Amino acid sequence: MREPVWEFLIVNYLFLGGLSAGLYFASALATWIQEDGHSAYPRIARWGAVLAPWPVSLGSALLVLDLGQPFRFWKIFFHFRWRSPMSIGSWLLVAFTFLSLAYLWSWLEQSERQSLLARIPEKIRTRIPVRVRGWLDLDASAWRRNLAMLGFPIAVGVGIYTGVLLGAVQARPFWNTNLVAQMFLFSALSSGTAALVVARLLDQEPVELKEMRFLYSMDITLIVLELFIVLPYLIHGELSSLAVKHALAQVLGGPFTIVFWMFFMGVGLLLPLAIELYEFKPVILGKGTFHIQPRWALTAGGLVLFGGYMLRYVFVFAGQATGFR
C-alpha cells in the first residue's frame, strides 16, 4: 500500500468544488424555467445563487493550504498548460467563482446591495470612482437568465474537472477511465440539489410543494444517473486489464469495501433514493397527494451530501493505493 500524498484537504476541495457546481446548476435551472416571464422557482434560484460561491472559495483555500509551498500558488496563473488538468481547472474555478458572485449580485435586492456597499469603510468607499459605484449598485436582475445560461457550461465544466483531475492520471488504474468524470459530475449536481433541499427546508419561508417537486425530480434523476455510472465503472473495470481488476479490489474485498458499499452506495445513494422515491410515490403513480415530511426530506438531503463526500474520500485514497507494481 502506497502512502497517499493527497489527503483530506484534497477530498474537501473536490467535494466543495463539486457542491458549488451543483448549487449553481440547480439554481440556474430554476432561474431558466419561467412562468409568466419570471422564474418559476425564485426562492430556490435565490438560495442557490446565495450559496454557490462559498463552498468553491473555501475549497480553493484548502487546496492552497495543501500545497507544499502555499505562497507560490499564484504561479499557476502565470502559466496556461493545456495538457495539465490542474492548470485548466484552476482557471475554470476562477471564472466560475467570479461568475457565481455576479450571479449572486443579480439576485440581491436594492436594499441588500446598498447595505452591503455601506459596509465598506468610508475611507475606501469615497475612493471608489462614481462610475464603479454605479455599476455595483446596478439592478442586474434582468441579467439573471443570461448569467444562468452562461453558467451552465462552466458549472458542468467545474463538476467534470474534479473528476478529470483524477481520471487523467494513467498511473492510477483505479482512476484512469472517463467514467470518473461523469461519476463526479452527477454526484456534484446531486449534492448541489440536495443542499438546496436542506437550505429550502431550513428557510423561514413556508415551502411550496411545486418547489420540492422540482428538487425531488431533479435529485431522483441525478441519483439514478449516478447509479448508472458507478455500476458500469465496476463492470468495465472487472472486464479490463489485470491492473484495473487489481485496483478495483480496493472496493471489492479490499480496505475500502465497507466505506464504498455501505457508506457511499448504501447510506449515501440508495437510502436517500428510497426515501425520495417513497415521498415521490404519489407523483409517479399518479394517485394520492404529493406532500413532504420535512424530517424525511432533510434526512435524504443530508445523506446525499454525505454520500458525495464518501465518494471522493474513497476515490482519492483508494486510487493512490493503486499502481502497476
Partner 1 sequence: MATKTLKTAQSIRRFAMVIDAKKCINCKACVVACKAENQVPLGVFRNWIGEEASGEYPRLRMSFDPEQCHHCADPSCVRVCPTGASWQREDGIVLVKEDDCIGCKYCIIACPYDARYHNPETHTVGKCTFCSHRVDRGEVPACVETCPSKVRVFGDLNDPKSQLHQLLATRRYEVKNPQTGNGPQLYYLL
How many Cβ atoms sit within 10 Å of the Cβ of residue 170? Answer: 9
CB neighbour list of residue 123: distance below 8 Å, 6 or more residues apart: none
**One character per residue 172-191, x = contact with partner 1 (rule: CB under 8 A):** x-------------------
The residue type of 235 is I
What is the distance between the alpha carbons of residues 195 and 47, in angstroms, rounded to a whole number? Answer: 10
Answer yes or no whether residue 202 interacts with partner 1 by CB under 8 A: no
**β partners of residue 38:** 35
Q: Please report how close the Cβ of residue 133 comes to partner 1 at its closest, in angstroms.
A: 36
Cβ(196)–Cβ(27) below 8 Å: yes
Q: How far apart are the first and last CA of the chain?
A: 10
**One character per residue 90-109, x = contact with partner 1 (rule: CB under 8 A):** x-------------------
Residue from the set 138, 156, 168, 277 that interacts with partner 1 by CB under 8 A: 168
- The string of DSSP letters for 70-111 reads GGGGGGGGG---TT-HHHHHHHHHHHHHHHHHHHHHHTS-HH
Answer yes or no whether residue 163 interacts with partner 1 by CB under 8 A: no
What is the distance between the alpha carbons of residues 182 and 192, in angstroms, rounded to a whole number? Answer: 15
Answer yes or no whether residue 2 interacts with partner 1 by CB under 8 A: yes
Q: Please report how close the Cβ of residue 170 comes to partner 1 at its closest, in angstroms.
A: 5
Stretch that binds partner 1, among 105-113, 129-137, 163-171, 296-304 (CB under 8 A): 163-171
Q: Which is nearer to partner 1, 46 or 172 (CB)?
A: 172
Distances (CA, A) of 315 to 46, 104, 124, 184, 193: 32, 32, 46, 10, 22
Residue from the set 111, 126, 170, 289 that interacts with partner 1 by CB under 8 A: 170
Answer yes or no whether residue 241 interacts with partner 1 by CB under 8 A: yes
Q: Please report how close the Cβ of residue 279 comes to partner 1 at its closest, in angstroms.
A: 41
Q: Please report how close the Cβ of residue 167 comes to partner 1 at its closest, in angstroms.
A: 12
What is the distance between the alpha carbons of residues 29 and 144, in angstroms, rounded to a whole number? Answer: 11
Answer yes or no whether residue 229 interacts with partner 1 by CB under 8 A: no
The number of CA neighbours under 13 Å toward the Cβ of 136 is 16
- The string of DSSP letters for 227-256 reads HHHHHHHHHHHHTS-HHHHHHHTTTTTSTT
Answer yes or no whether residue 8 interacts with partner 1 by CB under 8 A: no
Q: Which is nearer to partner 1, 2 or 125 (CB)?
A: 2
Compute the C-alpha angle 191/193/194, nearest 5°.
65
Stretch that binds partner 1, among 68-76, 136-144, 213-221, 280-288 (CB under 8 A): 68-76
Stretch that binds partner 1, among 49-57, 65-73, 101-109, 290-298 (CB under 8 A): 65-73
**One character per residue 305-324, x = contact with partner 1 (rule: CB under 8 A):** ---------------x--xx
Q: Which is nearer to partner 1, 48 or 319 (CB)?
A: 319
What is the distance between the alpha carbons of residues 246 and 250, in angstroms, rounded to a whole number? Answer: 8
Binding residues for partner 1, rule CB under 8 A, total 31
Residue from the set 8, 33, 61, 87 that interacts with partner 1 by CB under 8 A: 87
Residue from the set 149, 171, 202, 231 that interacts with partner 1 by CB under 8 A: 171
Distances (CA, A) of 35 to 38, 39, 160: 5, 6, 31
Q: Which is nearer to partner 1, 76 or 215 (CB)?
A: 76
Which positions lie near partner 1, rule CB under 8 A? Answer: 2, 5-6, 66-69, 72-73, 75-76, 78-79, 81, 83-87, 90, 168-172, 241, 243, 320, 323-325
